Amino acid sequence: MKITDLLNRKSIAINPKVDSKKDAINMLVNLMDASGNLRDKNEYKKAVLAREELSTTGIGDGVAIPHAKTKAVKDAGLAAMIVNDGVDYDSLDGNPAKIFFLIAAPDGENNLHLEVLARLSTMLMDEKFRNALENSKTPEEFIKLIDEFENKKVNKVKEENKDGYRVLAVTACPTGIAHTYMAAESLEEKAKEMGVSIKVETDGSGGAKNVLTSKEIEEAECIIIAADKKVEMARFDGKKVIQTKVSNGIHKSEELISRATSGDAPIYHHNGSKSSDEESTGEKEGIGHQIYKHLMNGVSHMLPFVIGGGILIALAFLFDDYSIDPANFGMNTPFAAFLKTVGGTAFDFMLPILAGYIAMSIGDRPALAVGFVGGMLANKGGSGFLGALLAGFIAGYLIVGLKKLFEKLPNSFEGLKPVLLYPFFGILMIGAIIMFIINPPVAALNNGITNVLNNMGESSRILLGAVLGGMMAFDMGGPLNKAAYVFGTASLANGQFEFMAAVMIGGMVPPLAIALCTTFFKNKFTKKERQSALTNYIMGLSFITEGAIPFAAADPLRVIPACVVGSATAGALSMFFGCALRAPHGGIFVLPVISNPLGYFVALVVGSLLGMIVLALLKKSKY
């Protein structure tokens, strides 16, 4: 069924007198009733208002599409209205709505209203089409414009999409817990709205899912890579590829899909001598993002060792008997000694793994061994986390340099490069650099930082806890959040366990504050928001800050300050109560192994409640 089959001139109004959202809905319902499509006008209006309570149908760009499916509808139909001065309709982008379509669908009509809604949304994404509709002078001109555009554009899209996928995508983030799947969902939902067929591969913590096939890659028009870590790129050689940050996959999905389908994407040319995520698409990646991506590749591979080892070490202290030998606490009983030995062994891999996978991200596989050795030497030489960090980057670029140098050798040496030349010269050079150049000053710096932190006054430590907690809530998975988290894990290596506790509690508060606010201040949220917020209780208690992102993205000026206040307070209280955490993850489930668990729980409750109260004060009532 075409859009114009559901419209008639009686159900269209051009520039009527409308001053508010309430007026707009009343006018549209009257137009629908005038077209003869309704059995019960009042019941239909109630259904439309009930749908608005779930979430606004002001989709942005000056467009609103209220709709309802109910037995009060006799025949499926559309009503439309143009208001050139615009109406405040609580639209998603905050701008006034000028183009209105009201959809009426009778019960038992399958999902006609959803099909029409999707088709209208797709058509109205075209700015020229929207402008033409706004300039319509009569209902007849309005209907003619829709008919012409639907025949020319939408039918053409259907013909193009009858086989395979037009667009493919890969989403990946360093931890592979939340951003990976949020970006995938955003791209899939937006593609559905736009009438574009898409398949998204997710490279999460459990490995790659929904993997793209060679046939799908061959037939696709373009591939979108929304990732903050290494993605295997060789398979996309010769295809149009858009490479971007995973956050853009969440927040700029429409822009990415539009660009992918417009043909405005560079062709990717893979060079086997380069790392598999290096861009050859004509778009130069920023230096800052390159460094961030290499760093996160190391951190994501390091985390399992730190988490597993850290929890085992913490359990060793929990199950040991301090009174046997205070100097040997953690190793006094056989079971405690077992836990601490295994945990300590896993923990010892932390710095070599970090350096090795940073190096591999830069220089590909030949850099892995060089980075491992550099990280181990940094660990043994006292330069710790910072030394391993430098070792990873130095090792990676050492191999890049050696590759360029050895390109001049005869082809007969190709087989010797990865098994002899790269490891021999790479390990020799990284050993000399770390032992004689990096370790002496960085070890001295580490000792200085440790002394400063150990001698820090109570007020200064509380302030630092507040800063770390606030950073965790400010961009929820972004650079500041990651910087605080990396600082916390680095502190574990230096024996500063209180900072990790402040970091984790700062990341737990935002989802919990939002969940609590939707529970106790229901009038501040739509029904859909309240339902989706229930999972935030689990995500917050599990230390998955990203559960707060959809709410922060929808209302950043209110949600982010409230979360920062709650997280900063929780971080400060954690430091005030002297809470210490030896594991960099685990949320509420590692509470028993946190020193002063009661104080930590109180800090979490106070921070979450304060965040809830501030959010409730800042948010406007929905009804």
Catalytic residue IDs: 67, 173
Per DSSP, helices labelled H in 320-383 are 334-348, 350-363, 366-380
Strand ranges inside 5-62, DSSP E: 12-14, 58-60
Residues 6+ apart with CB under 8 A from 375: 351, 352, 353, 354, 355, 356, 388, 391, 392
Cβ–Cβ under 8 Å, residues 166 and 32: no
CA torsion sign for 423, 385, 585, 581 is positive
Q: Determine the residue type at 226.
A: A
Cβ–Cβ under 8 Å, residues 199 and 216: yes
CA of residue 603 relative to chain centroid, distance: 27
Token digits of residue 165: 């996928």
Residues 6+ apart with CB under 8 A from 370: 359, 363, 395, 398, 399, 422, 423, 426, 427, 430
DSSP classification of residue 602: H
DSSP classification of residue 77: E
Q: Among 460, 461, 480, which residue's Cα sits nearest to residue 470?
A: 480
Strand 63-64 versus strand 12-14 pairing type: unpaired
Residues 6+ apart with CB under 8 A from 180: 171, 172, 173, 202, 203, 204, 246
> What is the distance in angstroms between the CA of the first residue and the CA of the last residue of the chain?
36
Cβ–Cβ under 8 Å, residues 261 and 289: no
DSSP classification of residue 212: P
Q: Determine the residue type at 34.
A: A
Cβ–Cβ under 8 Å, residues 392 and 357: yes
DSSP assignment of 247-270, as one string?
HHHHH-HHHHHHHHHHT--PBP--
Phi first, then psi, for residue 74 (nearest 5°) are -85, -50
Whole-angstrom distance, CA of residue 289 vs CA of residue 247: 12
Residues 6+ apart with CB under 8 A from 308: 343, 346
Token digits of residue 426: 């790479």
CA of residue 590 relative to chain centroid, distance: 25
Cβ–Cβ under 8 Å, residues 579 and 595: yes
Three-class SS state of 396: helix
Whole-angstrom distance, CA of residue 107 vs CA of residue 41: 15
Whole-angstrom distance, CA of residue 362 vs CA of residue 347: 24
Three-class SS state of 85: strand
Q: Determine the residue type at 348.
A: D
413 to each of 79, 249, 410, 417, how far by Cα in Å?
74, 43, 6, 6
How are the residues of the chain apportioned to helix, strand and coil, as percentages rounded to the nearest 5?
Answer: 65, 10, 25
